[in-house]
Structure 1
Amino acid sequence: MYVHNGVIHFLVSSGELELAGKVFDESCVRDLVSWNSLINGYIRSGRAKEAIGLYRKMQEEGVEPDAVTMIGIVSSCAQLEDLKLGRDFHKYIEDHGLNLTIPLSNALMDMYVKCGNLESAQRIFDDMEKKTIVSCTTMIVGYTRLGLLDAARKLFDEMPEKDVVPWNAIIGGCVQAKCSKEAFTLFHEMQDAGIDPDEVTMVSCLSACSQLGALDVGIWIHHYIEKHKLHLNVVLGTALIDMYAKCGNITKALQVFHEMPSRNSLTWTSIIGGLALHGNAHDALSYFSEMVKVGLRPDEVTFLGVLSACSHGGLVEEGRKYFTQMTSKFSLSPQLKHYSCMVDLLGRAGLLDEAEELVKSMAVEPDAVVWGALFFACRMHGNFEMGERAALKLLELDPHDSGIYVLLANMYGDANMWEEAGKVRKMMRERGVEKIPGCSSIEVNGTVYEFIVRDKSHPESEKIYGCLIQLTRQSGFAEFTYGLSELETHGV
């Protein structure tokens, strides 16, 4: 039996699951260790349903599970994000008095976190006499998933010892919550603490660069990866491509793409989206064709890049073709973002009636992005009647969005419909809607600075405004001033 179990364990560890299953099935004697080895092998391979099926078969044969078995089965529920099934197994553990070991408690917490039930995870965590790094990290992930960054940071700071994993959890959580500057601060603290970052850390930091457009920091991270010989796996390589593309260096993104030893569908999707973002429509479509040719299946995000490329390049026929192929060839249902791309594409081309018909025929309820695309197209081509319909739909969806009122008033102004423009401004005042100040950011020497309208918080704000005034004069801003005076003349 010992040798038999050793063979199964060796095959499972080597990734030979089918062969391990064959040895298991052909054996006339099987004990709990045999079952546990195969069940956990399925789980490590991401085959959670097969693991649960094997567990059911084990029960039918009268073999009682132990804590090791339940760790695997609870992990299966986490993979499937099946909260009901996870609760059932938790109840089984309690009803049968199984020893709630630290690894089993951690597995239960992880399951509840991944299934979105933080309260149950918190109860298990609070009841644990001894909390490990894994226990704390699991809760940090749970907090950050729900945007509870303060709670995550409090628990993180209370941990007596930390390796790279909890650092990655808190940094990744900040990036997920779009708090990229905080993520960089934590990254510097991590280095000060003498913790060496790994590939996961680098992926999170590169995502933060993408969010902020911080190219200098991204280049530094790339150099760090090369200097410390971190493994450029598919995930890290894809993050580099995404960073360079979103930070404005598509040439470098393409270089990283071609230097990668292996690529998956996410890598191709990233470069297609990057090319679309930079207006290289034909190149984006060429890479899409190559992706399909090498046998990789595009997903909804890939098609978002493809349709964006068509929109930026004004490729109406190609856009229609790929939009149709989503359903006919790849069995993918268009989502709101795909519809907004198509409406934008048709609208930019002046095909406003077709764009409106597409909105009316949508399988899902149009959102503000879809109606916004139609509205901007109407304003661009001077179709004020259709533009008014789109704007009223936008106001139905979000009556407190100041931008819609301003744009609708401006559209009326473009058409010399000053009375209607005045009504819109009046409606805005009556509803207590105020224009939200704009915010912009710029990276200088690796530091990202943020500014809002009339912001004087920067120590060199006087010089900045002086430069802005000079630029304004040079750019012939008089035309805009004239436009404002026209609005004032008509009482808008």
Structure 2
Amino acid sequence: MASFLAASPLPMERNLLLTTSTRTPDAISSLRMCHSFQEVKQLHAQFVVSGLLGYNPLCARRLLEAYATLSQIYYAVSIFERMPSPDVFVYNTMIRGLTMGKFLLDSLLLYKEFPFGYLVPDNYTYTFVLKACSHLKAPFEGSIHDAERVLGEFSEENTLAKTGYTKNGMHTEALALFLDMMVSQILPNEAALVSLLSSCGQLGTLHQGRWVHGYIDKTRVLMSTKLTTALIDMYAKCGSIKCGYGLFQKMAWS
């Protein structure tokens, strides 16, 4: 993130006294009505001059969201780096903005910097990181050697750890470890995929379950009875009965 900040065109915010706190709701409403980069920049300037940006964390969150949505990543990162304690919403907003802005390696790097010690990533976090992996084709073509260098290497023991997470009911941790394996180009075996599908089913995360199904198809993993059953179970638990039944019919005819 430091590389973004060094190139950021934003000045440092000035600690000016806020004359009235009643401006906050109006400021948030004004941000929601902005449809262009120039409009957001004009409001940003007003926030700096009034002191509102430093006074109210909600304004900073919404301003960051506006810049990220417009793919103005340098501005978004500048605000992010000045936030004392970013929460899950802020991290998700930045990861999404980096992914949608095609800063894919930076998106994965920010995920690796996620403060797992006191924040818990949610389904949105995983969705945005999976999108970054998909765009990089990391699981399929091995095209992110730079990401492997930046993010560090992971042991094959992660496969065993992942199945252990699932067996102990730590489904969110299992999903996070799978992402680590993807960005590190460690191919999960059948046991890891079955455990991952079980975690997706227990969490009810249909989007992630479908992504895993797509990964299995694209990498041409052998569709064993065990793996097919895990897919059917995942779809059933996520409420997608039609998809599960379709797989069941294919298995019955094979």
Under a length normalisation based on structure 1, what TM-score does the superposition of the two structures give? 0.29
The reply on whether 1:329 has 2:173 as its aligned counterpart is: yes
Indicate the residue corresponding to 1:203 in structure 2: 28
Aligned partners of 1:265 and 1:296 also within 8 Å: yes
Change (3 A) 1:301 1:353: same
Indicate the residue corresponding to 2:239 in structure 1: 365
Of 268, 293, 303, the match for 2:126: 303
Q: How big is each residue's C-alpha offset from its partner over 1:181-222, in whole Å with a ceiling of 9 and x where there is no partner?
A: xxxxxxxxxxxxxx996233333443444xx5x222221221
CA distance in 1, matches of 2:118, 2:68: 24
Structure 1 counterpart of 2:39, one-letter code: V
CA distance in 2, matches of 1:316, 1:200: 44
Aligned partners of 2:91 and 2:114 also within 8 Å: yes
CA distance in 1, matches of 2:213, 2:31: 32
Structure 2 counterpart of 1:327, one-letter code: H
CA distance in 2, matches of 1:246, 1:206: 12
Structure 2 counterpart of 1:364, one-letter code: C
Listed as ranges, the matches of 1:172-191 within 5 Å are none
Listed as ranges, the matches of 1:68-467 within 5 Å are 198-209=23-34, 212=35, 214-232=36-54, 233-293=56-116, 295-316=118-139, 327=171, 329=173, 333-343=203-213, 350-351=218-219, 360=232, 361-362=234-235, 363-366=237-240
Structure 1 counterpart of 2:43, one-letter code: I
CA distance in 2, matches of 1:242, 1:199: 16
Change (3 A) 1:203 1:328: same
Aligned partners of 1:280 and 1:313 also within 8 Å: no
Q: Which has the larger radius of gyration?
A: 1
Q: How big is each residue's C-alpha offset from its partner over 1:233-264, in whole Å with a ceiling of 9 and x where there is no partner?
A: 43322222221111021121111100223322
Paired residues, number: 171
CA distance in 1, matches of 2:216, 2:25: 41
What value does the CA root-mean-square deviation take over the aligned residues?
Answer: 4.1
CA distance in 1, matches of 2:37, 2:215: 30
Following TM superposition, by how much is the alpha carbon of 1:344 offset from its aligned partner in structure 2, in angstroms? 5.6
CA distance in 2, matches of 1:341, 1:205: 37
Under a length normalisation based on structure 2, what TM-score does the superposition of the two structures give? 0.52
Following TM superposition, by how much is the alpha carbon of 1:315 offset from its aligned partner in structure 2, in angstroms? 2.2
CA distance in 2, matches of 1:367, 1:224: 52
CA distance in 1, matches of 2:239, 2:44: 42
Indicate the residue corresponding to 1:38 in structure 2: none
SS in 2 for 1:337: helix
Percent of pairs with identical residues? 21
Following TM superposition, by how much is the alpha carbon of 1:231 offset from its aligned partner in structure 2, in angstroms? 4.0
Unaligned runs of 5+ in 2: 1-19, 141-147, 149-157, 175-198
Change (3 A) 1:315 1:354: farther
Unaligned runs of 5+ in 1: 1-194, 371-385, 390-492
Following TM superposition, by how much is the alpha carbon of 1:294 offset from its aligned partner in structure 2, in angstroms? 5.2
CA distance in 1, matches of 2:33, 2:220: 38
SS in 2 for 1:291: coil
